[in-house]
Structures are given as C-alpha cells and as structure tokens.
Structure 1
Amino acid sequence: MEKALDIAKIEAEISKLVAESLKLHAEGLKLHAEDMKLHAEVAKMTRERTWYPFVVITAGLTSTFAAGAVIAKLIWP
C-alpha cells in the first residue's frame, strides 16, 4: 500500500514537471517568435538606412543627367 502511494506521488510529480516543461516550451516559442519579428524589423531598418538612400540618390542623379541631356539637346540642336 505504501509503495502504491509512493508511485502515485511520483506520477503526480512527473505530471507537474511535464506540465511545467510544456509551459516553458510554449513561452520559449513565444520568445522565439518575438525574436524573429525583431530580426525582421532590424533588417527593414538596415535596408532603409543603406539601400533606400542609395536608390533615391541614384534616381536623382539619373533624372538630373536626363534633364541635362534634354536641355543640351534644346540648346544645341
């Protein structure tokens, strides 16, 4: 009888530990998802800081040269 009580206590303790483990696992998954969102945000900010200004400058230079070519063609036919 005493052995059965010990087994029941052990099983209850194992059940508690499994439940706690599942809870921690779920929390870890939430933290991982948040980390992935932050990583995506950092990547977006990096693109905005480096790539987008380059595109704007390139577009500005291209339009300036195109406008210059049009003006030159009008001035020197």
Structure 2
Amino acid sequence: MSTQEHDLRKIDAEIAKLIAETSKINAEAKWYPFIAVAGIFGAAIVIVKLFLS
C-alpha cells in the first residue's frame, strides 16, 4: 500500500467518524428541549414548595 492510499484510507476513516458523531449529536439534540422543560418545572415545584412551607 502506498503512502497516498494510506492517507486516503485515514481520511475516509476520519470522515466516517465525523458522520457518526454528527448523527449522534443530532439524535441527542431532539431531547434537549424536553430535558430543559423538565428542569424548569422541577425548579418551579421546588420554589413553590419553599414558599408554601
């Protein structure tokens, strides 16, 4: 295998890794709004409980 072929395979592997990471980030990103809303509701409940105690 020549140096050029080795470099091309290395670049292909890096591209595949970036595509996989991008896919993972996009899949996780759809859950962030739900988690943020749950956190806000949780904080609101704690605040209300503190004032009502």
TM-score scaled by length of structure 1 = 0.51
Moved over 6 A (4+): none
Q: Which residue of 2 aligns with 1:42?
A: 19
Aligned residues: 50
Among 30, 39, 47, the residue aligned to 1:63: 39
The one-letter code sitting in structure 2 at the alignment partner of 1:44 is E
Distance in 2, matches of 1:66 and 1:42, equals 35
Give ranges in structure 2 of 5+ residues lacking alignment: none
Identity of aligned residues (%): 16
Q: CA RMSD in A?
A: 1.8
Find the structure with the greater CA-based Rg. 1
Q: Which residue of 1 aligns with 2:5?
A: 28
Judging by fraction of residues, say which structure has more helix: 1
Q: Render the CA deviation track for 1:31-66: whole Å, top value 9, x for unaligned.
A: 110110101110121122111342x221x1332122
